[in-house]
Structure 1
């Protein structure tokens, strides 16, 4: 190679090296000014946005890219100090300084204190949540909020600002108000090589939770998994559940994870997993007892968008050994639409029963079965037209399904005589034999067809044709309850009422309703007893007045006759008081005559019976809302001093008809 060429190359390399050396020297010389400029800009930006005094006492380099910030405070105008920390030691991305912002590579924070104070209408933190009124209002923008876009922004901001290494020590968060104290102490929090470790003590008023936190994080893939473990034998208890809802929620371990995030076409989809161990629940609306769940988990796929929240059907929920795929959505673009679908694969029947949480279905505890079960449910409602609600629920069993051992309640007892105890407000009030040895027991053949048909017409017209559930009645009940925004109608069949009376409490809890459905399904699908036997038991145990149980007791109490002798009017009256037997006296005036408003019920039930051929047209046309009271009922109901013992209303009406008036 030509010597002159070599010389030129060496000169060029020297010039380049010299340039970079001069640049490096310049950066080292001016980096303090650059850091000061960046810090001042951050302080200015915070103070321009919020009514606060933000102070960073000292900012200096310690090494090439290591920065120490000390004596940091944030004080709202006219309010107590909100935040302070002794020192922040950070390694910054050098290039970020030229952009006027700080991107942290490592972060050490010592002795941090966040102190929120509220006293009446005054507090030192509300300014953080106020909207920026200086920004112009975009009148062309849609008023609907896209929660997917908002959550995506939060996730990206959070993950993009996670340093590679974190070492926090002695962090403290306190909230104080006249009636509330929350105190969080974190002795340490570290993130190193993607591993998270921390210890936290949380005091909410008198409740203290001591937690150990472990997990992993990969900010580039939006991946995080955190596990919360109890650090003592008390478990982890959710605060304020007792005060606000009169309930308890506690557990030993909670795992929460986000595995994937995708934002496309204004829609955010997140995937992850959550799991809880040794969960305890207690609330009077759920169950009478504590509910224990050994293990519950969910692998979720959730999407949020414009007017949309959706749980994808790939979401799998696991309760102990039982697994189900769940789809749920809420869409309020034009009208509010709620949809829910649940589907399980065919799973061993024993796994199904063993997976039921303890304390939730007491009657079924201990049951053992063979074969397989599969459940499917579909629910859909437009809140603008709730009468079109869709509800389909099916529990299918394999041909070899059978129960080999009953739980606490033996359903086989329905096959023969058994002792039955009636309860009121949770206390036993009367026990009697359901069977021929009881003189008040009436075989179904000795009960008037009028009463049997009137009860079926009013309570469950499809009793002899369905398998324990009347889905149309249940759909109507759902629609009614949604319209009234409270539980006003149950849609119960005679099978369900029988199970409620014989095996369950009368409390309206979620667990009791589900348990009722499972027991009804077992009785009907295993054909434990015939429909006639079920109806016979039902007619002999239901309440018909004060300490009056069964058709024979009722017919003697009100009319002084045997149940086989009841006429049509008497039967319809007895049917009318089944929903509210304790209010039987409201049906009569002080002379023992049925009140006029009862005539509508008589026309309704009588008309349906006539259309179905259960009574003749002549019987319907001659039907009058009048009955003649005798015995104990008359003594309790008739209070008018000038009332004769014998009610002649029915005779007088017959005379008027005979005379042609």
Structure 2
């Protein structure tokens, strides 16, 4: 293809040449003038910057000497930065900074070189104050003066540009100390003995805490294209963070961490950052996560992050790799007009054994060594708009294909199909061993338990037990909504299957790892039909806590009513179902004559009415046996006078339904704790599988004295209230 020739008259060429010549002459003239006055301009700019730092940030900046070194480099010596009324933040002995001239024409300050010799950055924490408080002060001032909000995408772009603009083409640092002093009780030191950037290659040597370790941050940098690929590792040992361990009781170590940024630019109005992050042999020990070390041999994420005007998002094109298994995450946080949380996880169908092998060591101890066949696919969908929490969406599906368990791990998940020994724990301590089988006289087969109790407990705790596969998504969804609105774990979403697995197969430690392991074991048992529903319910009824050191329906029916489980009437069945969430509050619900307190009548009508509508019991207009419930006489002597008001609804259980020692009654009263706190605890009966009935002994003199003191205190408070009302 031949392009047509364009003929430009010579006079226009001459005019253009003259214009370019004049423009070049003006630039040269201005450059010469600026070059001649650059020292004065530098001093003026420095004085202005120092004054602004003092006015806006309360920083006292001193510079011993400053001057140009070459055409575009500035050398400064003996610099100090001291926040007002705080410790010295930074000192620099000698630094030379060079800028690129061409970007400067367009207002962009890009560094061409940095040479630093001996410097110190010193962060000091004293109580709630630090010598970095000036940053927060400035942010607060800016937030009040700027009424127009900047889009997050523009903010991210500007921030990232500033970071990359400050990465020089050439750099040489020697003896730069970065130190943190935390209330004179803990410190952290990083001494960069050398760090260089040459031709985009970064190399460094960093001494940690004097002689504790030597770290290296090495890699490739390309600031112009917003690309980097760097790796952190230590000489001959793991990278450890002892300061975090001391401050947060969290131990973290790893062999290497690699970070790569591949792209950062606007895409369809959003700012997109693409890169990857990988870690080798990560070790985490945090008691809220797991009681044991969690080890991740190899993990990597290829991430695409999107930043919009009002949201942050990890896009679903991202992939997390754990050994040979992979999953696609989607995380989105919308800031306005309402805060919205979104999470989606998608694991495409893949080899089941590869998934089990990818579990971090120490995370699921009971499943370690398990061998499986087949394939698995997983999908999770979560959406919460904080303005309408009741509309929360939750859907979780683990789909098997030809899945089969070939070999158990550390725990046989079918052990409850035959007789076994159960050890209940209270407040982290084992109570006693209980044989779940005919050799225990209190063990009760499912067919020998009154339908009045079975139906009442299923109605109140898990109505769809025989229909669901271990989980009830609607219950979990409602729990999320309630807990979010209450800002605490008020409602749980556990099914009977989950409670059974928690008590029989897992430790009583309340950790995230244990909860995740509980969910996985429930899925394995329910979806592979390892245990029948009838056997699960039978075991559950025989291990459930139903009072202070009272476990199982066999012990509970004899303890409260002196009956066998088969003899329970409708009222007794509803009462025993009522105490399951808070078993240690059971005795507080009785009057001194052994009858139930009136506030329980609506509960009886509700549960009884629900059972009647489902055809589980005859309709009853007199409270479904409420007035026929009587505590056996041997326990009535432990009941308080009827004048004592106890709100058992205020007895809060924790996230597992276990009551803390201080929550056995209304928080404003301590009388019950004083009466039963220490003397009612039973001895460990590991050698005896029979039910232990609390002896019917009278109150001690100490308990009576405490009761009288408590009564006198209440009378004094009532008198003061009357006096204040009269005045």
Q: Aligned match of 1:377 in 375, 380, 400?
A: 380
Q: Aligned match of 1:184 in 190, 199, 207?
A: 190
Distance in 2 between the 1:593 and 1:215 partners? 77
Distance in 2 between the 1:185 and 1:440 partners? 68
Task: Give the equivalent residue in structure 1 for 2:619.
Answer: 617
Tell whether 2:327 aligns with 1:324: yes
Where 1:430 maps in the other structure, the secondary structure is coil
Task: Give the equivalent residue in structure 2 for 1:59.
Answer: 67
Distance in 2 between the 1:465 and 1:184 partners? 60
Worse-matched range after superposition: 90-99 or 592-601: 90-99
RMSD of Structure 2 on Structure 1 (CA): 3.5
The alpha-carbon deviation at position 332 of structure 1 amounts to: 2.6
Task: Give the equivalent residue in structure 2 for 1:346.
Answer: 349
Task: Give the equivalent residue in structure 1 for 2:114.
Answer: 107
2:569 and 2:625 in contact (8 A); partners too: no
The alpha-carbon deviation at position 608 of structure 1 amounts to: 0.6
2:604 and 2:623 in contact (8 A); partners too: no
Worse-matched range after superposition: 299-308 or 206-215: 206-215
* Mapping of residues 110-125 of structure 1, within 5 Å: 110-116=117-123
Tell whether 2:157 aligns with 1:152: yes
Worse-matched range after superposition: 506-515 or 373-382: 506-515
Assess, with a 3 A threshold, how the Cα gap between structure 1 residues 528 and 48 changes in structure 2: closer, same or farther.
Answer: same
Distance in 2 between the 1:336 and 1:136 partners? 20
Tell whether 2:529 aligns with 1:522: no
* Mapping of residues 20-99 of structure 1, within 5 Å: 33=36, 35-37=38-40, 39-51=42-54, 52-55=60-63, 57-61=65-69, 65=71, 67=73, 69-76=75-82, 82-89=89-96, 93=100
Distance in 2 between the 1:456 and 1:349 partners? 34
The alpha-carbon deviation at position 333 of structure 1 amounts to: 1.8
Q: Aligned match of 2:559 in 533, 540, 557?
A: 557
Assess, with a 3 A threshold, how the Cα gap between structure 1 residues 396 and 131 changes in structure 2: closer, same or farther.
Answer: same
* Mapping of residues 255-654 of structure 1, within 5 Å: 255-263=258-266, 267-398=270-401, 400-618=402-620, 623-630=625-632, 633-634=635-636, 636-637=638-639
The alpha-carbon deviation at position 98 of structure 1 amounts to: 8.1
Q: Aligned match of 1:226 in 223, 227, 230?
A: 230
Where 2:302 maps in the other structure, the secondary structure is strand
1:569 and 1:627 in contact (8 A); partners too: yes
1:56 and 1:69 in contact (8 A); partners too: no
Assess, with a 3 A threshold, how the Cα gap between structure 1 residues 511 and 94 changes in structure 2: closer, same or farther.
Answer: closer
The alpha-carbon deviation at position 532 of structure 1 amounts to: 1.0
Q: Aligned match of 1:250 in 238, 248, 253?
A: 253
Which whole-Å deviations, capped at 9, do the CAs of 1:466-497 have from their partners, x for residues lacking one? 11111111111111111111112211111111
Unaligned residue ranges in structure 2 (runs of 5+): 1-21, 55-59, 643-695, 697-727
Assess, with a 3 A threshold, how the Cα gap between structure 1 residues 328 and 213 changes in structure 2: closer, same or farther.
Answer: same
Distance in 2 between the 1:328 and 1:150 partners? 20
Worse-matched range after superposition: 342-351 or 421-430: 421-430
Where 1:467 maps in the other structure, the secondary structure is coil
Which whole-Å deviations, capped at 9, do the CAs of 1:322-349 have from their partners, x for residues lacking one? 2111111111322111111011011211
Q: Aligned match of 2:167 in 146, 162, 170?
A: 162
The alpha-carbon deviation at position 48 of structure 1 amounts to: 3.8
Assess, with a 3 A threshold, how the Cα gap between structure 1 residues 27 and 536 changes in structure 2: closer, same or farther.
Answer: same
Worse-matched range after superposition: 187-196 or 545-554: 545-554
Q: TM-score, normalised by structure 2?
A: 0.77
Task: Give the equivalent residue in structure 1 for 2:678.
Answer: none
Distance in 2 between the 1:323 and 1:549 partners? 43
Q: TM-score, normalised by structure 1?
A: 0.84
